[in-house]
Structure 1
Amino acid sequence: MRAARLHRYTSNVDEAFTVEDVDRPEIAAPDDVVVEVAAAGWCHTDNHIVEGAMRDIADAELPYTPGHENAGTVTEVGDAVTSVEPGDSVVVHPPMSCGTCRACRQGEDMHCPDHVFTGLDTDGGFAEFLRTKARSVVQLDGLDPVEAAPHADAGLTAYRAVKRAAADLVPGDYAVLVGIGGLGHIGLQALHAISPTRTIAVDVKDEALALAESHGATHTVNAREADAAAVVDDLTDGGARTVVDFVGSEDTLSDGLGMLRTGGDHHVVGYEGDLHVPAQALVGQEVDFRGTLVGTYTELQELVALAEDGEISVRTSTHDLGDINEVARRLRDGDVEGRAVFTP
């Protein structure tokens, strides 16, 4: 089968992959599922993988095939699999978890100490086929795989963050969403779908803010042209209840504190920088910073349900697997709107 293989870590993302013919994965355990990949999303994490930033937390041995946002059709199942069958359309939850540890029994699959993450720890979906587990596939009911694939990580991570935020938001509250890109535009829609909050979208690109407006943002702020914290303070009369930061740079992490009202929460989704916050500010404002790590299997089911009900759409562009190096370069340069999806 055709697969995009990473042979070495490099800062030259535009020449990182070679597209090769490799053996097709086969059923190796009773709970295995083989999926013919119809769509595989490129994630900013894939840039970090290429650059070697994930080597200390990933178990994959080079060369291997990344790709952790995957959807397609089941082609083979192990003898113990009863939840899906060949021909089923599915999206793949990236963690393959054990199902028996305390974290799994509590539903927090990605906290499983023995989980294997598709595309980081083992071969992923930048190929014509991938092998996963029955516990990791969510059936689709008419949702296009190209639309579904980004939900496996980008959408799921955004949904988990805004779902947590929504638990504390009531009518009249404001939530600030920083970075309306591949994750942010999904998170904005999800937040409006599950909460009564008003939203303020912050970005440095007018086209991203136009995307936010098209998805119902109450207000938009170009942080390159205005002091976003001052604008938020003025709009909210003292600060927002919640900031959801899809960038996570040192600038946005620092600015977020100035956007929050006393008792607010800053949900950190992006991880581009380090957090430096005076302890006095945390105590005096009684604010919380909360990280977001992908999402659970059941949260992926919830997100797929919202997408199938038309509450959430994803801006995508489709690409041949042979263009993977070009797509990696474009994402590094900020030249991708929404999500880039390969159709192997």
Structure 2
Amino acid sequence: MKAVRLQKYHQHPVIEDVPEPRATGPFDVVVKIGGAGVCRTDLHIIEEQWAEKSGVELPYTIGHENAGWVHEVGPAVTNVEVGDTVILHPTPTCGLCHACRAGDDMHCPNGSFPGISSDGGMAEYLLTSARACIKLDPSTEPSDVAALADAGITAYHAVRKAVPQLYPGTTCVVNGAGGLGHIGIQSLRALTAARVVVVDRNADALELAATLGADETVLADGKQVEAVLDLTGGNGAEVVLDFVAEQGAQQDAFAMTRRAGSHFVIGYGSNIEIPTIDIISTERNIIGNLVGTYNDLVELMVLAQAGKVTLHTKKYPLDAALDALADLDAGRVRGRAILTP
């Protein structure tokens, strides 16, 4: 089968033939990929930012946002059958540890992360587990929903955590309206009554944000912090969801947060440099966000299949994976790039 393989860090991946995976374990599931999302994390993987944390050995196949059709199952699998349409939670987990039993799947110490710590889904087939599979309506096109498996639940997870702070009359700033941010806007509209202010440096992204339910949009032209403060009576927002968190955006996000407010860090790539006195004197919170849980993905798919959350995608054939990565890196993708093997 064809797969997008990272041979060396700081070099472009290559598309090559590798053996198809097989379901050799009792709970193994092999999925024929119908859509694989292209994520900024894939760029960070190529830049070697994940090397120490993932422990993966090169070469391997990238791609951690996957949906498709069940191709083969292990003998103990009962929740899906060959031919089922599925979206895959990105972290196959053990189901037995405290984190799994508490519903915090992404903190399972025995889990894996295909596309980051093992072979991923930018390929024709992917090996995963029964615990990662969520069965979808058979009419669902996998390439239309694949990015919800990471970008979607990462955004939804952050919004879900912020909901108690976003009662009527509050303001939430969405910093970055790209692949994650445009889902965050829709999740906010579905789950809260907060005013949504979207900040982005791209006018087209702001236009999309307005169609998705943003109450106000702010162009990141160097005066975005002042603009947000003006919109909030000089106080800042109760919650800032920072889907960028690099190239200075992470500093802006904290500056846009009001006293006793919360700065949710979702994007990554740079350091946050904040004097501790500025944190304690204003009681502002800085909250990290990993990918969402299995339950988050189930809930998000309910919203998606009800039409309350939709993905804006640009699709590429698998052979054009390098074009998709380049377009993402250059900011030419509105919404999410999807590979269709």
TM-score (norm 2): 0.97
SS in structure 2 opposite 1:167? helix
2:23 to 24, 27, 43: 27
Distance 1:5 1:231 in 2: 43
Q: Which residue number in structure 2 is paired with residue 338 of structure 1?
A: 335
Contact 1:143 1:307 in 2 (8 A): no
Structure 1 distance, partners of 2:71, 2:5, is 22
SS in 1 for 2:45: helix
| Residues 1:59 and 2:55 aligned together | yes
| Cα displacement (A) at 1:250 | 5.3
Matches within 5 A, 1:243-322: 243-249=240-246, 251-322=248-319
Q: Determine the C-alpha separation between the residues in 2 that align with 1:252 and 1:278.
A: 17
Determine if the alignment matches structure 1 residue 180 to structure 2 residue 152: no
One-letter amino acid matched to 2:6: L
Comparing 328-337 with 123-132, which one deviates more in the overlay?
328-337
Of 131, 138, 160, which aligns to 1:135? 131
Alignment deviations for residues 222-271 of structure 1 (CA, whole Å, 9 cap, x no partner):
021x6222222222222211000000025222222322221100000011
Which residue matches 2:95?
99
Name the amino acid aligned to 1:332: D
Name the counterpart of 1:77.
73
2:7 equivalent in structure 1: 7
Change (3 A) 1:19 1:249: closer
* Pairwise CA RMSD: 1.2
Structure 2 CA distance for aligned equivalents of residues 320 and 258 of structure 1: 41
* Unmatched segments (≥5 aa) in structure 2: none
Secondary structure of 2:29's match?
strand
After superposition, the C-alpha distances for 1:88-111 in whole angstroms (9 at most, x for unaligned) are 100111111111111111111110
**Secondary structure at 2:31 match in 1:** strand
Distance 2:245 2:15 in 1: 32
Structure 1, unpaired ranges of 5+: none
Structure 1 residue 120 displacement after superposition: 1.1
Residues matched between the structures, number: 339
Work out the CA distance in 2 between the residues paired with 1:321 and 1:252: 32
| Residues 153-200 of structure 1 deviation map (CA, whole Å, 9 limit, x = unaligned) | 111111111111112111111100000001100110011101111100
Query: Does structure 2 conserve the Cα–Cα contact (< 8 Å) formed by 1:263 and 1:286?
Result: yes
Looking at structure 1, the residues matched to 253 and 3 of structure 2 have their Cα atoms a distance apart, in angstroms, of: 41
Sequence identity percentage: 45
* 1:235 maps onto 2:231 in alignment: yes
